[in-house]
Structure 1
Amino acid sequence: MDKGGCDFSPMELTIKEDIRQVITALQKNVEMMGDENYCLLGNFEKIKEEFLSIEMKAATFYLNCYLSPFTDKYPELSTCVQNMSKLKHGGLIVIQREDPLQSLMKPGITIGAELTHSLLESIFFPGNPLHDGAVLVSRNQIVSAANVLPLSDRLSGGKKLGTRHRAALGLSEQSDALVLVVSEETGRVSFAIGGNLHPIITHGSL
C-alpha cells in the first residue's frame, strides 16, 4: 500500500536494526537448543514483545504517511487519541481518503466544524449523546458524528472483536478509509486500513 511520500529512511534504519536484533536472538536460540539446561520459553516471550514493539513503531510512522495527503490535522488527531487513551474514553474516528463513504455508512448528526482535538474529545466524552457512533472527518473538517459503520465478521485470536473494532475493520474492508479506534476497556489505540488492524504507540510517540 502506498505510504504517501513520507521520508522512510530514518525509521527504516531503526526498524532494520530492531529486526536484526530479533534475528540474532532467534539464531542464538537455535544454537542453544542442544543444551539440555537451556529453556526457550522465556526467550520466546521476550522476542514476541520485541516483534510487537517493531510493529507498533512501523504502524505509528505509517499512520502519519497514510493521513498526510488527506488532512493537515494529524497533530490534532494525535493529541485527541493520546488524551482519550489516557482517560480510557472509547472512540471511533473515520478519516475519508479517496473513496466516497455515504453509501457505506448510516448517517449521523451533521457537525460541519473545523477539526480540533478538544471538539473530538468532547464528542466522545462519556454521556455525550454522540459518543457511541463514529465521527467522520474529511480533509480538515469534522463532517458528522454518531455515524453507524458496517460491522466485520472477522475474529482475532479465535475471539470476536469489540463493536468499535469490528466497525473499523468493516468500513476498511469496503473502502480505502482509515479508521482510528480507542478502546474504552484498555485505552489502546489502533487504526484499520485495507481490512487490517494495527496497534500504535500512545505514550507521547505519535
Structure 2
Amino acid sequence: MDEMESQLTPVIKKNLSSTLSQINSKIESMINKIEVQGCGILTEFENIHRIFNQLQLQASSFYLNSYLSPFTDIFDELTISIQHLSERKHGGLIVIKRDDPLHQLMSSGIPVGANLSPALLESIFYPGSPLHDGAVLVEGNMIISAGNVLPLSKITYENKKLGTRHRAAIGLSERSDALVLVVSEETGKISFAFQGNLYPVQSGAPHMN
C-alpha cells in the first residue's frame, strides 16, 4: 500500500501517530513489568492487540476510499449497502473494476446494466436470491452484472478459515487491479481484497466518502 502513503490526510496522520504512541507506551510498560515482576503481562498483550486491530481498521478504511475514489463516485450508495449487509449478516461480494479488463478472469453472470442503488444491491444479496452467492461487477456507477464466479486464490489452501467469498475476492485481486469488497455471512465483518491481500474495514461503516 506504499503508493498511497503520500495521500494521508493530516487528520489520519494525527490519529495514526497518536495510536502508535499509545502502543509504544504500553510496550514500555510491559518491559518494566517483565524486569520487575517477570509476569502479569497477558492483559497488556491483549490491550496492545486490540489497539493494533483498531489501527489497522482505521488505515484500511482510509485506503479503501483512496483506491476507489478515482474509479467511482458512488461512495454513499456503497457505504449504505455494505453497512446494511453487514448489520443483517447477508454475505456480499462486490467487484469494483479499475483499469484491468476482467472478462477473461471471471465467468459471465447475469447482465444487469443498472445504476447502483442500495435497494438493488441489497436485493441481489438477499439470502435465497438466485444471484446472492455470486459476485456483483461494478464499473463506474453501474452494476454491470451479478452472479459472477471469480477465480479462487491459489494460496488460500494454507488458510482453511477463509470462506469461498474471501478466497474468490483474493483470487481476482491476485490477477488484476480490481478491488473486491466482501461481507462475511457468518460474522457480518467487512473487508476488501486488493493486490492479493485482504484488509478489514472499520466496523460501523467503511468510511468511503
TM-score where L is the length of structure 1? 0.94
Aligned twin of 2:90: 89
C-alpha distance 157-32 of structure 1, shift in aligned 2 (>3 A): farther
Structure 1 window deviating more from structure 2 (84-93 vs 23-32): it is 23-32
- In the alignment, the residues of structure 2 paired with residue 205 and residue 94 of structure 1 have an alpha-carbon distance, to the nearest angstrom, of 15
Instruction: Report what 2:147 is aligned to.
Output: 146
- Residue 42 of structure 2 corresponds to which residue in structure 1? 41
Kindly, what percent of the aligned residue pairs are identical? 50
1:11 aligned partner, one-letter code:
I
The Cα of 1:37 is off from its aligned counterpart by 6.4
Partner SS for 1:107: coil
Secondary structure, aligned partner of 1:150 = coil
**Cα drift, residue 168 of structure 1:** 0.3
- Structure 1 residues 4, 100: closer, same or farther in 2, change over 3 A? farther
Query: What are the equivalent positions in structure 2 for 1:95-134 lying under 5 Å apart?
Result: 95-134=96-135
AA in 2 matched with 1:191: F
Q: Which runs of 5+ in 2 are unaligned?
A: none
1 CA distance for matches of 2:98 and 2:13? 25
Output aligned runs, 1:161-172, within 5 Å: 161-172=162-173
Q: CA deviation at 1:158?
A: 4.4
Contact 1:71 / 1:139 at 8 angstroms: preserved in 2? Answer: yes
Taking the aligned partners of 2:158 and 2:22, their CA distance within structure 1 comes to 27
Instruction: Give aligned pairs, total.
Output: 206
Shift of the alpha carbon at 1:147? 0.4
* Shift, 1:8, TM fit: 1.8
The answer to whether the 8 A contact 1:154-1:160 is kept is: no
Structure-2 separation of matches of 1:39 and 1:156: 37
Q: CA deviation at 1:160?
A: 4.0
The Cα of 1:38 is off from its aligned counterpart by 4.1
- TM-score when scaled to structure 2? 0.93
- How big is the alpha-carbon RMSD for the aligned residues of Structure 1 and Structure 2? 1.8
Equivalence map 1:43-82=2 (5 Å): 43-82=44-83
Q: State the shift of 1:40 in Å.
A: 1.1
Deviation readout 1:149-199 (Å, 9 max, x if unpaired): 000133498434100000000000111100000001000000000111011
Looking at structure 1, the residues matched to 157 and 105 of structure 2 have their Cα atoms a distance apart, in angstroms, of 23
Rounded Cα–Cα distance in structure 2 between residues aligned with 1:32 and 1:134 = 50
Contact 2:79 2:205 in 1 (8 A): no
Contact kept? 1:154, 1:161, Cα under 8 Å: no
Q: Helix, strand or coil: the match of 2:4? A: coil
- Kindly indicate whether the alpha-carbon contact (under 8 Å) linking 1:4 and 1:68 is maintained by their aligned counterparts in 2: no
How far residue 205 of structure 1 moved from its aligned partner, in angstroms, is 5.9
Q: Which moved more, 1:180-189 or 1:26-35?
A: 26-35
Other structure's SS at 1:145 match:
strand
Q: Could you tell me which residue of structure 1 aligns to residue 15 of structure 2?
A: 14
Structure 1 residue runs of 5 or longer lacking an equivalent are none
- SS of the aligned residue for 2:152 comes to coil
